[in-house]
């Protein structure tokens, strides 16, 4: 095991990697329940999506760990599953079978741009200042996810701001769609969930300040235990049959996508939207977490650009991510992507693929022992995500904030990630402002041609999103 994952070479050990894997798993385990809840609104069978979600996470994460030897986990992405349900199926009228076909095509495109080195070239074209901004922005994004999970903030909206209310088959209210008229505010902490998360946050902060090894996972465990007498930590739950995968496996409807010529343009623009979001979510996650932690070091970066083939860990990681999307679609779920919550395991010391293998094993167990993923409440994992945000703020120190040419693109990259709840949106806005800045200051020649191409694609995507309500 030491030799396969090169633990000594990476300055880590089996214990650290296992702790990191457990940490990553519990910060992202919510997806096995949330993803079926969202996708089942389209008419997809809940049990089938549940099993597909786990299998997609297992396969994608194992490929990441065993092939790329990096500590990243994969699973159906939040945001992308909402896009699948509310935009592709509800707004654009595609069936869930057709939507799965769209996701599969998106995955094939991602494989092609990875094999043909386009993804690699895009990473090389991104200026260092934006790379630092992406890292810091992801830190804020992760913190925001943690604050939401902790129930530290509440959102209020007046009745005129409600646009739609969506109910499930039983008639229960499942989703409320509103416009921008929503106001966040700090809660008064009478909620037990928020109280437990606050206790967990204080515990984790103290452990981190005392430089206790395994601070994050210890904080999660202690918070989970404290949650038992508070009634937040619960035990029990149903198991699900692996056979349920037959309800979603290979249910893709390709013919239905192209039978109506009048909808071909919508099909193509939807694929573009899926691909852009998936691609830049992944690139942002790798840049934001891999560089700071040393997972993708200067040696690996040199190997990335030195020749053809998959010579570097980043090459292999990009390929693992690209293949996961199509595999997930075949199983019956929306885009499978690299999880930003992997940063929690990296912060806990994970440096190799052994961390990913541990995550995959825990996901496999969930097929037969579902309650193990439900034991740890969100209030216990939320503090870990908040602390990870603190650890990623270092990237901001490397940005020259007194230089507006560098500060403007960096600022908008950082701000739009948490505010729009999307890594790719933050990158898109940052790219656009960067190009505008260089053109206005008559330094257009300093911009890599790929930056212009990608920026134009982002602009087209934004325009089409407005025109077609994508």
User: Average pLDDT of 10-25?
Assistant: 94
pLDDT recorded at residue 309: 64
Q: Sorting pLDDT into bands at 50, 70 and 90, what band is 170?
A: low
pLDDT recorded at residue 172: 62
Distance, CA of 412 to CA of 320 (rounded, Å): 30
Q: Sorting pLDDT into bands at 50, 70 and 90, what band is 155?
A: confident
pLDDT recorded at residue 78: 80
Q: DSSP for 136-149?
A: HHHHHHHHHHHHHH
- Spatial CA neighbour of 450 closest among 422, 423, 431, 465: 431
Indicate the average pLDDT of the chain.
Answer: 87
SS3 359: helix
Q: Tens digits of per-residue pLDDT, 282-292?
A: 888 888 787 66
Q: Tens digits of per-residue pLDDT, 191-241?
A: 999 999 999 999 999 999 998 888 888 999 999 999 999 999 887 666 666
pLDDT recorded at residue 469: 59
Distance, CA of 427 to CA of 431 (rounded, Å): 6
Return the percentage of the chain with pLDDT > 70, whole number: 88
Give burial (CB, 10 Å; 0-12/13-18/19+) of 446.
Answer: exposed
Give burial (CB, 10 Å; 0-12/13-18/19+) of 335.
Answer: buried
Q: DSSP for 58-120?
A: HHHHHHIIIII-----EEEPTTHHHIIIIIIIIIT---HHHHHHHHHHHHHHHHHHHHTTHHH
120 or 440: whose pLDDT is higher? 440
289 or 351: whose pLDDT is higher? 351
The answer to whether the beta carbons of residues 427 and 414 sit under 8 Å apart is no
In the predicted structure, residue 297 carries a pLDDT above the cut 60: yes
pLDDT recorded at residue 292: 65
pLDDT recorded at residue 340: 86
pLDDT recorded at residue 238: 60
Distance, CA of 399 to CA of 397 (rounded, Å): 6
Classify strands 74-76 and 182-186 as parallel, antiparallel or unpaired: unpaired
pLDDT recorded at residue 461: 80
In the predicted structure, residue 169 carries a pLDDT above the cut 60: no
Among 152-166, 261-275, 408-422, the range with the most confident prediction by mean pLDDT is: 408-422
User: Average pLDDT of 297-306?
Assistant: 68
Q: Sorting pLDDT into bands at 50, 70 and 90, what band is 403?
A: very high
Beta bridge partners of 36: none
Question: Token pair for residue 207?
Answer: 């452990």
H/E run at residue 282: helix 264-285
In the predicted structure, residue 326 carries a pLDDT above the cut 70: yes
- The tokens 């439900």 sit on which residue? 374
Integer-rounded Cα Rg, in Å, for the chain is 21
Q: Tens digits of per-residue pLDDT, 121-147?
A: 888 888 989 988 988 888 898 899 889
Angle at 307 between CA 305 and CA 309, to 5 degrees: 105
pLDDT recorded at residue 320: 92
Distance, CA of 285 to CA of 135 (rounded, Å): 8
Torsion angle of the four alpha carbons 148, 151, 152, 155, in this order, in degrees rounded to the nearest 10: 70
In the predicted structure, residue 168 carries a pLDDT above the cut 70: no
Q: Tens digits of per-residue pLDDT, 46-97?
A: 889 999 999 999 999 999 999 999 999 999 988 788 889 888 898 788 999 9
């Amino acid at each position: 095991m030491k030799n396969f994952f090169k633990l000594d070479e990476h300055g880590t050990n089996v214990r650290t990697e296992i702790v990191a894997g457990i940490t990553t798993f519990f910060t992202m385990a919510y997806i096995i329940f949330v993803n079926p809840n969202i996708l089942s609104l389209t008419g997809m069978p809940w049990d089938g999506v549940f099993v597909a979600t786990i299998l997609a996470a297992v396969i994608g994460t194992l490929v990441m760990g065993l092939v790329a030897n990096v500590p990243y986990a994969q699973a159906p992405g939040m945001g992308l599953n909402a896009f699948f349900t509310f935009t592709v199926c509800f707004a654009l009228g595609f069936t869930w079978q057709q939507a799965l076909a769209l996701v599969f095509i998106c995955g094939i495109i991602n494989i092609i741009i990875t094999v043909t080195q386009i993804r690699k070239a895009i990473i090389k074209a991104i200026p260092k200042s934006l790379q630092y901004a992406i890292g810091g922005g992801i830190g804020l994004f992760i913190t925001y996810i943690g604050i939401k999970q902790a129930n530290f903030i509440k959102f209020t909206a007046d009745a005129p701001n409600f646009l739609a209310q969506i109910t499930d088959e039983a008639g229960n209210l499942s989703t409320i769609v509103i416009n921008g008229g929503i106001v966040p505010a700090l809660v008064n902490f009478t909620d037990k969930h928020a109280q437990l998360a606050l206790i967990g946050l204080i515990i984790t902060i103290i452990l981190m300040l005392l430089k206790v090894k395994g601070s994050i996972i210890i904080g999660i465990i202690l918070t989970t235990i404290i949650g038992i007498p508070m009634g937040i930590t619960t035990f029990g739950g149903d198991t699900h049959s692996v056979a349920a995968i037959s309800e979603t496996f290979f249910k893709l409807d390709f013919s239905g996508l192209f039978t109506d010529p009048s909808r071909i343009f919508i099909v193509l623009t939807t694929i573009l939207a899926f691909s852009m979001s998936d691609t830049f979510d992944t690139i942002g996650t790798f840049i934001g977490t891999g560089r700071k932690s040393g997972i993708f070091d200067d040696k690996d970066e040199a190997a990335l650009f030195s020749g053809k083939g998959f010579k570097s860990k980043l090459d292999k990681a990009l390929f693992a991510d690209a293949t996961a999307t199509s595999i997930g679609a075949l199983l019956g779920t929306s885009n499978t992507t690299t999880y930003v919550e992997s940063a929690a395991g990296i912060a806990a010391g994970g440096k190799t693929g052994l961390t990913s293998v541990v995550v995959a094993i825990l996901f496999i167990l969930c097929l037969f022992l579902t309650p193990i993923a439900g034991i740890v409440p969100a209030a216990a994992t939320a503090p870990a995500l908040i602390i990870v945000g603190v650890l990623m703020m270092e990237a901001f120190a490397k940005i020259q904030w007194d230089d507006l040419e560098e500060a403007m693109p960096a600022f908008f990259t950082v701000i739009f990630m948490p505010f729009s709840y999307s890594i790719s949106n933050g990158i898109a806005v940052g790219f656009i402002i960067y190009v505008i800045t260089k053109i206005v200051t008559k330094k257009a020649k300093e911009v890599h041609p790929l930056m212009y191409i990608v920026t134009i694609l982002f602009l087209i995507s934004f325009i089409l999103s407005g025109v077609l309500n994508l």
